Amino acid sequence: MRNAFIQALTEVAEQDPRVVFLTADLGFKLFDDFARRCPGRFMNVGVAEANMVGTAAGLALEGKKPFIYSIVPFVTLRCLEQVRNDVCYHNVDVKLVGVGGGYSYGQNGPTHHALEDIAAMRAIPNLSVVCPGDPAETVAAVHALAQHDGPAYLRLGRAGEPKVHPAPVTFAHGRALELKPGTGVVLLSTGNMLSTAMQVAELLTQRDQPCGVVSMPYVKPLDRDALTRAAASASLLVTIEEHSLVGGFGSAVLEELSSLGLTARVRRFGAPDRFSSACGDQAFHREAAGLTPQAIAAAILDAR
């Protein structure tokens, strides 16, 4: 996702001279091509995320379109006050880009785990929250956000996420993507759990359980039409995310169902409400949280 992001942003910036890119001392060598192709529009502000957000807000007020980049906890929680007051209160056109959603930086421990960011970001007025599921969705999200006038948070994985879409995709602001039509169980996935959701669907199909898959890169705003269709066709709605079960994507789905007056059986899969004291990579933490395809599929079959 990280490489797909910067390639897409470079393409966007070459077409729009208002686009500028700021990083908080991350991405060595990764951004060299952007700096070469868009001279004067790449800034490394150092390890100063709060200052980066304030600088971006000022640039936006002067007509620029800043994209700012750091590890998820640092571009969201470390500078939450600046995101809220400098960017969102003034409703300026700043795109926050967080790399390493979920357990992507697993070995670095709880300080680098990104499990609360969706909850914090979606609570802030004016801020869109976008969590693409694979590199193709990342490219589509960058292009969609470049056309969207207003604050947004783009939550990425790290690197090496599987390609789910066999070809490029496009989507409008706030729209979902139906990957696998189906009734019975409908899996709603956001972020870097999309490949897992597709594997779950395959396991369920092997057990003669009809299953559909909807990728919902937009957590805020949620695609109400897609959610309504899924609720109408499903005997069980399943949300899958690499984020805390408190306040994340699954919570957003439940809230939206309630506001729409829709009744549905819902089973949520996400990270438990606790810090992890164990050291391990992303796969290790996903297994500990019950977020493997096998664990999710088994729980769904038990819930039928």
Q: What is the 3-state secondary structure (H, E, C) of 254-276?
A: HHHHHHHCCCCCEEEEEECCCCC
Average pLDDT over residues 43-51: 96
Give the pLDDT of residue 244.
98
DSSP code at position 163: P
Question: Whose structure tokens read 């690197």?
Answer: 159
Tell me if 52 sits within 8 A of 6, measured CB to CB. no
- Phi and psi for 190 in degrees, rounded to 5? -130, 150
DSSP, res 86? I
- Whether the per-residue pLDDT at 159 is higher than 90: the answer is no
With a pLDDT cut of 70, the percent of the chain lying above it is: 100
Average pLDDT estimate for 149-164 = 94
pLDDT in tens, 274-286: 999 889 999 999 9
In this prediction, residues 85-93 reach a mean pLDDT of: 98
As a CATH number, domain 177-303 is 3.40.50.920
Task: With 0.75 as the threshold, say if the pTM is over it.
Answer: yes
| Those residues with Cβ within 8 angstroms of residue 181's Cβ, 6 or more apart along the chain or in another chain | 212
Same fold, 2-155 and 177-303: yes
Question: Class of the 2-155 domain?
Answer: alpha beta
* Beta carbons of 245 and 270 less than 8 angstroms apart: yes
The pLDDT tens digits of the residues spanning 247-269 come to: 999 999 999 999 999 999 999 99
- Give the tens place of pLDDT for each residue, 197-245: 999 999 999 999 999 999 999 999 999 999 999 999 899 999 999 999 9
d(CA 257, CA 251): 10
Q: pLDDT band for 182, please (50, 70, 90 cuts).
A: confident
Q: What does the domain layout of the chain look like in residue ranges?
A: 2-155, 177-303
